[in-house]
Amino acid sequence: LGKLLAERWPDYDPASLAYAVRYILPLVQIPPRGIWGQGGQATWTTVESWLGRPVATETAPDFLVPRYLAAFGPASVMDMQNWSGLTRLSEVFDRLRPQLRPFRNDAGVELFDLPEAPRPDPETPAPPRFFPEYDNLFLGHADRTRIVPPGRGSRYVAGYAFTVDGVFRGVWKFRRTNDVTTLLIDSFDPLSPAEEASLLDEAHGLVAFAEPDTAHDIQFTKIS
């Protein structure tokens, strides 16, 4: 890509031109790359080419706020700014306020949600889950205290994390030796027998999905 761009702009560094295209233009990664379990150099095309229609030119983020809240609400203005990288969103939320439902958390911070969004009972149990790197569950809010207890190092948050009852409890990784794939589950604090049992069901499903052609093993350890 850089070489082709340099033919048109020969006075610029080819690598810099390629980076500019990748980070500024709306692109999509297409097959044969971006396929689970297969490596190789990424293949890109423009969103317009892939979808067969032009990209909208509207720059006001009004349409983005409801879509963000549909995934991450209730959330604050700062939460969305942290997630999106956009600034000055308070005026957008104020403009959309008649269409949103406001709340206040225990700290008095104003939160917003969609009026029709589900609001389950606070005591509703959340099933255990294993998350990939940089999952939006952790990156979708500036305030992560609802899932990340105090003292849990932020260096772990962007990694392969797992939750029990909706709370960040540790990290996981695969270890592959010969024909055996071991899922290592490292917890910050001891897991109860019931918690381990609930994680095992989810863990076997994860390994079967990620490594279907190998024998499986599950091991629990504690982060030292």
Q: What is the pLDDT along the chain (224 residues), one digit of tens a residue?
A: 889 999 999 999 999 999 999 889 999 988 877 667 677 788 889 999 999 999 887 777 899 999 999 999 999 999 999 999 999 999 999 999 999 999 999 899 999 999 999 998 988 999 999 999 889 888 899 988 888 888 776 656 667 999 999 999 999 999 988 889 999 999 998 999 999 999 999 999 999 998 888 899 999 998 87
133 part of a folded domain: yes
Q: Are residues 35 and 105 in the same domain?
A: no
Could you tell me the end-to-end alpha-carbon distance of the chain, in angstroms, rounded to an integer?
A: 46
CA distance 68 to 86: 13
Q: Are residues 43 and 66 in the same domain?
A: no
Q: Are residues 137 and 203 in the same domain?
A: yes
Q: Are residues 76 and 99 in the same domain?
A: yes
210 part of a folded domain: yes
123 part of a folded domain: no
Tokens found for residue 18: 């390629």
Report field, pTM of the whole predicted structure over 0.85 = no
For residue 61, count CB atoms less than 10 angstroms from its CB and return exposed for 0-12, middle for 13-18, buried for 19 or more: middle
Contacts 24+ apart (CB under 8 A), 113-120: 113/69, 113/73, 113/74, 113/75, 114/66, 114/69, 114/70, 114/73, 117/69, 117/70, 117/73, 117/74
Q: Are residues 161 and 191 in the same domain?
A: yes
Whole domain around residue 109: which residue ranges? 61-113
75 part of a folded domain: yes
Tokens found for residue 119: 């609001």
Q: Are residues 214 and 134 in the same domain?
A: yes
Residues with Cβ within 8 Å of 4's Cβ and at least 6 positions away in sequence, in order, are none
CA distance 158 to 134: 5
Q: Are residues 144 and 217 in the same domain?
A: yes
* 180-187/215-222 β-pairing: parallel
CA distance 168 to 59: 36
Q: Are residues 29 and 86 in the same domain?
A: no
Count of domains observed in the chain:
3
